[in-house]
């Protein structure tokens, strides 16, 4: 069965530009969240894909408001689209398999299984190569749990390990030095929540982004806790982190065991945890593969090449 193609006709180019937003920002929301294709040819917009009907309906509603003379700022349009898409935070296909989380489309069987494991277990390890959505999907799940009131805060942390580079020459205090290591976590947050919401949540300590070292000595209750880049923890650090788990807490540990930046001879805490915890009944392991990569298609080819035999010199 071919995917549906739906159209919208514009009165003029100004109307088309208003609906698209600056640099097609409004369309990018729908492309990212629904996986649809949106193109404009002349004064006709075409929407295609499995979820073309939903995207077409949302765009039609916004266009009707614009035609009534309602002035909508870019952030307002994006907010309306996002709110509509998030009406059902988890959707299922007719086969009963999960297909979306917080409106974002799960693109591979591995991602869908990962979400199922997060739904089933309170402690989850997600192991796989870069670009498979390990951290992003964990952040989505954390936001869902926060919105539903099942947790009171989100805690995101990473080990501040130097990946062949030195922190010492960087300007500023310790926080300024580790901020670059936290940037990927912020990138995931800003994809799900707008900047002002993240800022407000941080001020109220609803969201905390911090180095792994800041977790020592704490008991993390009523929280969704994510440890990213866990392959760069030591065995002692991993044990310390896992034993921070308090009442009504969820923990997701993500990492790529092919990108360990620890000193030679130091065992990765993630590799060690995988070996000793994989058979513990109440702990979930999601194993993502190159086939689950959702970045640029070349990323998967690069990873497969590195996993293969090295070229001759």
pLDDT score for 290: 84
Whether residue 112 sits in one domain with residue 253: yes
Q: Taking the mean position of all CA atoms in its chain, how far away is CA 93? A: 21
pLDDT band of residue 163 (cuts 50, 70, 90) is very low
- Relative to beta strand 223-227, strand 153-158 is parallel
Strands (E) in 20-142, as ranges, are: 37-41, 44-48, 90-92, 98-101, 104-105, 123-127
pLDDT score for 104: 73
Domain boundary among 53, 85, 117: 85
How many of the other CB atoms lie within 10 Å of CB of 290? 19
Q: What is the mean pLDDT of residues 37-66?
A: 88
Closest of 105, 171, 96 to residue 137, by C-alpha = 105
Domain boundary among 85, 118, 153: 85
Q: What is the mean pLDDT of residues 142-162?
A: 87
Question: Is the per-residue pLDDT at 124 higher than 70?
Answer: yes
pLDDT score for 58: 85
How many of the other CB atoms lie within 10 Å of CB of 217? 7
**Distance, CA of 243 to CA of 154 (rounded, Å):** 17
In a domain, 103, yes or no: no
pLDDT band of residue 237 (cuts 50, 70, 90) is very high
Question: Is the per-residue pLDDT at 288 higher than 60?
Answer: yes
In a domain, 186, yes or no: yes
- Residues 6 or more apart in contact with residue 11 via CB below 8 angstroms: 43
Whether residue 164 sits in one domain with residue 254: yes
In a domain, 288, yes or no: yes
Whether residue 263 sits in one domain with residue 208: yes
Whether residue 296 sits in one domain with residue 153: yes
In a domain, 102, yes or no: no
Whether residue 155 sits in one domain with residue 43: no
Whether residue 69 sits in one domain with residue 136: no
For 198, the 3-state DSSP assignment is helix
Question: Is the per-residue pLDDT at 53 higher than 50?
Answer: yes
Domain boundary among 37, 52, 85: 85
Q: What is the DSSP string of 263-285?
A: PTTPPBHHHHHHHHHTT-TTEEE
Whether residue 121 sits in one domain with residue 71: no
Assign residue 20 the CATH number of its domain: 3.30.1370
Whether residue 173 sits in one domain with residue 79: no
Q: What is the mean pLDDT of residues 66-84?
A: 66
Domain that holds residue 160: 108-307
Question: Is the per-residue pLDDT at 120 higher than 90?
Answer: yes
Mean pLDDT of all residues belonging to the chain: 83
For 118, the 3-state DSSP assignment is helix
In a domain, 92, yes or no: no
For 133, the 3-state DSSP assignment is coil
pLDDT score for 310: 46
Whether residue 194 sits in one domain with residue 149: yes
Segment among 33-42, 79-88, 129-138, 226-235 with least mean pLDDT = 79-88
Assign residue 147 the CATH number of its domain: 3.40.50.300
Question: Is the per-residue pLDDT at 87 higher than 60?
Answer: no
In a domain, 44, yes or no: yes
Question: Is the per-residue pLDDT at 200 higher than 60?
Answer: yes
In a domain, 179, yes or no: yes
Whether residue 136 sits in one domain with residue 52: no
Segment among 10-19, 66-75, 88-97, 172-181 with least mean pLDDT = 88-97
pLDDT score for 164: 38
Whether residue 295 sits in one domain with residue 172: yes
CA angle at residue 168 from 162 to 171, to 5 degrees? 115
pLDDT score for 267: 96
Tally the domains of the chain. Answer: 2
pLDDT score for 166: 43
Question: Is the per-residue pLDDT at 224 higher than 70?
Answer: yes
Tell me the pTM: 0.66
In a domain, 66, yes or no: yes
Q: What's the DSSP call for residue 246?
A: -
Residue 109 or residue 153, greater confidence: 153
**Distance, CA of 42 to CA of 230 (rounded, Å):** 50
Whether residue 161 sits in one domain with residue 256: yes
């Amino acid at each position: 069965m071919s995917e549906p193609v739906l159209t919208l006709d514009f009165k003029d180019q100004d109307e088309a530009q208003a609906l698209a937003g600056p640099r097609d920002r409004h369309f990018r929301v729908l492309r990212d969240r629904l996986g649809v294709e949106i193109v404009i040819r002349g004064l006709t917009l075409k929407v295609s894909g499995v979820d073309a009907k939903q995207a077409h309906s949302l765009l039609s509603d916004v266009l009707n408001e614009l035609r009534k003379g309602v002035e909508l700022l870019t952030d307002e349009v994006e907010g309306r689209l996002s709110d509509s898409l998030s009406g059902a935070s988890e959707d299922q296909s007719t086969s009963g398999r999960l297909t979306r989380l917080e409106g974002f489309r799960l693109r591979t069987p591995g991602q869908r299984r990962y979400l199922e494991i997060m739904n089933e277990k309170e402690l989850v390890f997600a192991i796989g190569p870069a670009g498979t959505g390990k951290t992003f999907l964990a952040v989505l799940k954390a936001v869902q749990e926060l919105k539903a009131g099942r947790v009171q805060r989100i805690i995101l942390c990473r080990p501040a390990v130097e990946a062949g580079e030195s922190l010492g020459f960087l300007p500023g205090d310790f926080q300024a030095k580790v901020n670059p290591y936290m940037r990927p976590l912020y990138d995931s947050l800003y994809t799900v929540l707008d900047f002002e919401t993240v800022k407000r949540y941080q001020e109220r300590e609803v969201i905390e982004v911090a180095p792994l070292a800041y977790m020592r000595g704490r008991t993390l209750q009523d929280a969704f806790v994510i440890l990213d880049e866990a392959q760069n923890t030591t065995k002692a650090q991993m044990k310390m982190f896992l034993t921070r788990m308090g009442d009504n807490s969820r923990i997701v540990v993500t990492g790529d065991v092919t990108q360990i930046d620890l000193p030679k001879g130091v065992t990765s805490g993630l590799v060690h945890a995988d070996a000793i915890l994989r058979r513990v009944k109440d702990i979930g392991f999601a194993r993502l593969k190159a086939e689950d990569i959702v970045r640029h298609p070349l990323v998967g080819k690069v990873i497969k090449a590195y996993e293969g035999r090295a070229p001759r010199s």
